[in-house]
Structures are given as structure tokens and as C-alpha cells.
Amino acid sequence: MEKILDRFLRYVAIDTMSDPDSPTQPSTNKQYNLLTLLCEELRQMGVEDVTVDKYGYLMATIPSNIDKDVPAVGFIAHVDSSPDASGTDIKPQIFENYDGGDIVINKDKGMKLSPSEFPELRKYIGQTIVTTDGTTLLGADDKAGVAEIMCAAEYIMTHPEFKHGEIKIGFTPDEEIGRGVDYFDVEKFGAKYAYTMDGGQIGELEYENFNAAGAKISIQGRNIHPGYAKDKMLNAILLASELNDMLPVWQRPEHTQGYEGFFHIVKFSGVVEEATIQYIIRDHDSELFEQKKKLLQQCVDFMNAKYGEGIFTLEMKDQYYNMRKEVEPHYHIVETAVKAMEMAGIEVDIRPIRGGTDGARLSFMGLPCPNIFAGGHNFHGKFEYVPVQSMEKATEVILNILKIYAE
């Protein structure tokens, strides 16, 4: 079998960054480069019914090889990488037998992974760690999950003695921009239950996530020659800053944890004449989520009352909801994942997702879908890294889940 590191490195070499400003599905054609490769690799393994549709969904089936009736179980990962940092020309670095000290990822820029800033590193002493070179993200979110599912598929196809029920494999585009399952056909996929391999560090298991919305605020300023601007100019840049200052500072991502929600400004562009600011709004509690959306609307209304109707225009859209209420009626799928991790000698850490996955929306579409660790850290940025042994353990968890269902 191919080593998971080699498979992972092959996948991250392919730029699959999604684009939130693109109206197409998938948002970028380059995501097909990885999807096509995965399709070919699955077919070479002998996996059946491998298809990639016009929306960028890869689906495949490994038939059951046991006589008993067990539910079809799916494993899902997304192929796109986040637009928060460059995914072009990724140059992974491999640090074997990590000694517990600083890992210099870019000497010229003075960039390093230090346990003093990233204490989770201490868990991986003696292991092999893959990092960026400090100029791009790594893409472990979620190419680690893709590699884990592919390694599990290869093991199953090369070990006919491994007993399992029907297995469904799904790879999706555009998860990072909240459109990962907009056109996902749950009935065609055919799984009764599924797991996304899209979590963080080893041991994480999640079945509740943020309620999420995205907001875009357009601000129409009025540009007047600064020498004659008194009582006439409306500087859209300053208006945007004023609105942002109205939102509670303690509800920013850098000041929240656990179940605490936030307002996160993710993009600003503007000149004196006009400006645009974009936010994501998150909260696990549905009532607090609605309060946050209401507060943003009140801020916009206040600014329009102060400066003139129509100066501020708000577009706000819900993106996904907390999957807990959809998963809890099928809690045995969480218990199965717990047992599968324990069989692999992993300490289980059940926690709320401070984000979202395709599984959140799929759960509301009739496919209960908890989220299992993929093994990476510091997603969406240049300090992203993944221990190879965590990816190996994630593959083991997939196989253990199938063993449990086949028993």
C-alpha cells in the first residue's frame, strides 16, 4: 500500500482554492484537477460506481462483502482549500522525529512553530510533522481527510478478508466558502449514516457546530475635494470603521472559546466614495445567533438614521445550522466513533466545532453526519501543520468504524 504521507503530498501539490466571489459551482475549475485524479485512483483500486458530476461531487461505492444486513456508511471530505491564504505552489516541509523544540518553517521571514505559542506541538514529540514553508497554507484542511479516506479504501480493496458492509465515499468542493453541499444528492449518495473526516487534532469528535450567517455591508460615501469638504464629505472608510466599533469587542474570535459565539470581520475594501465590509456571524445557541443578527441590523439602521437612509445596505444570509438536534436522535453513530477511536488507542475529545462542516448541512438534509479528526492544526494559514501519525490513526478509525458496523 502507498504510504499516507506520499498520498497526502501528492494531493496538496494540486491547487484547489475555492472562490467566494465566483457564482459557479464548483467555484473554481481547478478543483476538478484533484477530483479527476481521485476518480482515476479509485477506479484503479477497483472501486465501483465512481462518478464526478457537473457540480463537482465525487461519489463512489464499495459493495458489502458480508451476508448480514448492515446500514451503508459514508465517509466524506472536501477537496477545496481555504481562500484565507494562498494555496498555489505549496512546498511542504517534513520534520522527522520532532524533538519538542522550535520548528523553523521560514528562516528568511523568521517564522517558526514554537511550543510556547502552539503548545499542542508537545503531543507530537518523536513523530513526523509536515508544515508549510511559510508562504502558503498546507491544505491539510481537508486533504488530510481525503488522503485518509483514500488510504482506507486502498486497504479494503487490497484486503478482501476485511469484512464490511456497503461503503459510500464522497468528496465535495467549496466547503470552505459554505457551499459544499448546495447540490449534494443525499439519495444518490445512498448512505444511511456518514462521517466527515474534517476535524482538527487527533481525538477530536464533533456532533455540534455553530449556527452561521454571512453578512455584506455596502457603504455609499460622498467624496468632496478635501480642501472644500467641511460638512459635505462622507468618508466611507471612516463610516465602515464606525460601524465596526459598534459591535462588541469581547465577541470577536480572538476573545472567545468553547460555546461562545462571535462577529468576525473577514474582508474590507474601500475608498472615500464607497466601501464594503464582510462579516461571518457564529453562535452555537440558536437564540443568541438570532440576537447577533438582529444587533448587526440595528447597527446598520442606526447608521442610516445618523447619516441618511440608504448610505448603508446590509445583505445577510444564513449559511448553516447546529447539527446537534439532527444527530442526537441517532446518537449511536457518535458512540460508534468513540469506540472506534478507543480501539485505536486514541483518547477521545468530544467538543463543539467552532466552525462548520459539510456534515452540519448534510445532517439537516437527512444524512446524520458527525465530524472526525483529520489530524491537522492551525488551518487556513501559513502556520498549518499535520503530524503523519495522526493521519495514520484517522485511517485506522475509519476501518474500525466499518468493523463495528459489520459485527
- Overall average pLDDT of the 134-155 stretch: 97
What is the structure's pLDDT at 60? 98
Instruction: Please write the tens of the pLDDT for every residue from 371-391.
Output: 999 999 999 999 999 999 999
CB 168 within 8 A of CB 60: yes
The CATH number assigned to the domain with range 4-209+322-406 reads 3.40.630.10
Residue 356 has pLDDT above 80, yes or no: no
pLDDT at 210 over 80: yes
Q: What is the pLDDT of residue 114?
A: 96
CA-CA distance, 321 to 118, in Å (whole number)?
30
Residues 6+ apart with CB under 8 A from 62: 47, 48, 153, 156, 157, 164, 166, 167, 169
Measured distance CA(295)–CA(312) in Å, rounded = 15
Whether 244 and 277 have beta carbons less than 8 Å apart is answered as: yes
Q: What is the pLDDT of residue 357?
A: 78
Residue-wise pLDDT for 37-87, tens only, equals 999 999 999 998 999 999 999 999 999 999 999 999 999 999 999 999 999
- Read off the pLDDT of residues 180-196 as tens digits, 9 standing for 90 and up: 999 999 999 999 999 99
CATH number belonging to domain 212-320? 3.30.70.360
Residue 319's pLDDT is 85
In this prediction, residue 370 has a pLDDT band, given cuts at 50, 70 and 90, of: very high
Task: Calculate mean pLDDT across residues 152-172.
Answer: 97
What single letter denotes the amino acid at residue 337? Answer: A
Q: Which residues, 6+ apart, have CB-to-CB distance to 114 below 8 Å?
A: 102, 103, 121
pTM: 0.87
Can you give the chain as a three-state secondary structure string? Answer: CCCHHHHHHHHHCCCCECCCCCCCCCCCCCHHHHHHHHHHHHHHHCCEEEEECCCCCEEEEECCCCCCCCCCEEEEEECCECCCCCCCCCCCEEECCCCCCCEEEECCCCEEECCCCCHHHHHHCCCCEEECCCCCCCCHHHHHHHHHHHHHHHHHHHCCCCCCCCEEEEEECCHHHCCCCCCCCHHHHCCCEEEEEEECCCCEEECCECEEEEEEEEEECECCCHHHCCCCCECHHHHHHHHHHHCCHHHCHHHCCCCCCEEEEEEEEECCCEEEEEEEEEECCHHHHHHHHHHHHHHHHHHHHHHCCCCEEEEEEEEECCCHHHHHHHCHHHHHHHHHHHHCCCCCEECCECCCCHHHHHHHCCCCCCEEECCCECCCCCCCEEEHHHHHHHHHHHHHHHHHHHC
pLDDT attached to residue 320 = 86
Name the pLDDT band for 299 (thresholds 50, 70, 90): very high
Rounded Cα–Cα distance for residues 289 and 269 (Å): 26
For 332, other C-beta atoms within 10 Å of its C-beta total 10
Delimit the domains of the chain by residue range: 4-209+322-406, 212-320
Spatial distance between the Cα atoms of 118 and 110, rounded to a whole number of angstroms: 16
Active-site residues: which are they? 80, 175
Please give the average per-residue pLDDT across 384-399, as a whole number. Answer: 98
Residue partners of 231: CB distance under 8 A and separation at least 6: none
Tell me the mean pLDDT in the region 131-135: 96
